[in-house]
Amino acid sequence: QVQLQESGPGLVKPSQTLSLTCTVSGGSISSGGFYWSWIRQFPGKGLEWIGYVYHSGTTSYNPSLKSRVTISVDTSKNQFSLNLTSVTAADTAVYYCARDTYHSGWYFFDYWGQGTPVTVSS
Amino acid sequence: IQLTQSPSSLSASIGDRVTITCRASQAISTYLAWYLQQPGRAPKVLIYAASTLQSGVPSRFSGSGSGTDFTLTISSLQPEDFGTYYCQHLNVYPRTFGQGTKVE
């Protein structure tokens, strides 16, 4: 059973960088067909896809965040990470890591971490 | 691509038949998934490709539609089905979600 677990600070000051790591267990992050993603959920419950990294290091980002986001992968540790720079209160959300799976021609998020709340405040 | 769900919330009882709709701002064929988020938990995929049930999901859930209009139906609501349902379009980036339908 694949499991994902987010880790990182729950409080970040405005203008600083939000950094989170997702540790994958029960499966290899190097397996093909999976896109390792970050998704956030705002206090009003809306969901926003942030981006993904493939095991090769290939990335794709939401255009709304592209200038501030970096997602990277460390296959030796079976982890992938999110960096979001110049944060503001609008970045306050629960951050999820998730696996975007390619299955029979379709992509969908089949495994999610439990989510980690991040508050941006001084 | 914008996804608009209706209703935003609904009240239902155990055993009720529940229907939720999702409308896309442009045609997306059957590139749609449905998720359920129970309180305090991450979303869980129920249906992908508009009508394909994910492994392990009870058969009381069904999905239909193509193009711009989609429907999620729960044939007989069970206690574990309460929560918020989201639609999401597939295979195109950026991935986007509907705003959610809370079933209470």
Q: Report pLDDT digits (tens) over A12-50.
A: 999 999 999 999 999 999 988 899 999 999 998 899 999
pLDDT (0 to 100) of residue B91: 74
Query: What does the pLDDT read at residue A7?
Result: 97
Size of interface A-B (CB pairs under 8 A): 56
- Which of A3, A104, A106 best tests the B interface by mutation, with the highest count of B CBs <10 A? A106
Per-block average pLDDT, block size 10, for chain B (104 residues)? 96 97 95 96 96 96 97 97 96 91 97
Residues of B with CB under 8 A from a CB of A: 31, 33, 35, 41-45, 48-49, 52, 54, 84, 86, 88, 90-91, 93-97, 99-100
Per residue in A77-115, pLDDT tens?
999 999 999 999 999 999 999 999 988 888 999 999 999
The fraction of chain A above a pLDDT of 70, given in percent, is 100
If we measure between CA atoms, which residue out of A57, A19, A54 comes closest to residue A37? A54
Residue A30 in contact with residue A50, Cβ under 8 Å? no
- Are the beta carbons of B78 and A28 closer than 8 angstroms? no
